[in-house]
Homo-oligomer: A and B are copies of this chain.
Amino acid sequence: MSRGIRRDKFLLELARRRKSIRRFKAGVEIPLARVLEAIEVALEAPSGMNCQPWQFIVVSDRELKHRIRIACEEAEKKLHGNVRGEFKKWLEQRNITWEKPFLEDATYLIIVYADKHCPYTIQSTWLAIGYLLLALEENGLASLTYTPPDAEKVNSLLKVPKRYKLETIIPVGYPLEEKIKEPREPLINKVYLNKWGKRIILKTMNT
């Protein structure tokens, strides 16, 4: 617990800088090692019973990325045909359609699987994904967590055993354009003290 190597607020800086990117520069080469370095960070995450339920498939092959895109877009077309209400509005405001060019344009896809037989497998895996996103950002790489509505075709393309569940696909690369980070609620709305609804007075921040 040495505080000697603490670098003040580096994580806050990193977390604030990191935003979800949906458009990537196509055809960019990035050393695989930079992606693996970020995954190394994720592997240090805690997990239920230290089961380490995660498995990562890094996809760099162009043809395979193309096939994954096609498989996901087929599932998306079905979903978008049925979308209604708030979700439909949210998608339209952000120009999110069934098209997923990021699955092909991103230099890498990191496909994250969770072992269904482990305790707290979803929780542990997503905790590790939190580590991973920050580590990708530290390594200068943009990312997104994208979960296809139906993963069966992707699992079959990658020959994944039934025991594993696709949790998310993380496209990784350089952003095509700068975008503004979606706003976050301020701390005062998201943290209570000792009881639900009891707000923290902001001056306590300076204690």
Interface of A with B (CB < 8 Å)?
1-3, 5-7, 9-16, 18-20, 31-33, 36-37, 39-46, 49-50, 52, 54-61, 64, 87, 90, 119-120, 122-131, 133-135, 138-142, 145, 147, 158-161, 167-168, 174-175, 182, 184-185, 187, 190-197, 200, 204-207
Contacts and interface: CB of A to CB of B under 8 A. Distances in A.
Which residue among A11, A20, A160 has the maximum number of chain B CB atoms within 10 Å of its CB?
A: A11
A192 B58 contact: yes
B43 A187 contact: yes
A12 B39 contact: no
Given A1-B174, A15-B131, A60-B194, A44 B10 contact: no
Given A123-B167, A191-B39, A7 B6 contact: no
B57 A195 contact: yes
Given A52-B185, A133-B46, A13 B9 contact: no
Given A58-B194, A206-B33, A182 B50 contact: yes
Contact of A187 (B15, B39, B61): B39
B175 A57 contact: no
Count of this chain's copies in the oligomeric assembly: 2
B60 A41 contact: no
A55 B133 contact: no
Nearest to A157: B195
18 contacts: A5-B13, A9-B37, A11-B138, A12-B37, A15-B41, A15-B45, A16-B44, A32-B204, A36-B204, A36-B205, A40-B187, A43-B185, A43-B190, A44-B184, A45-B130, A56-B191, A57-B195, A161-B196
Contacts of A61: 194
B49 A87 contact: yes
Contacts of A175: 1
Contacts of A45: 15, 130, 133
Which residue among A3, A50, A59, A196 has the maximum number of chain B CB atoms within 10 Å of its CB?
A: A196
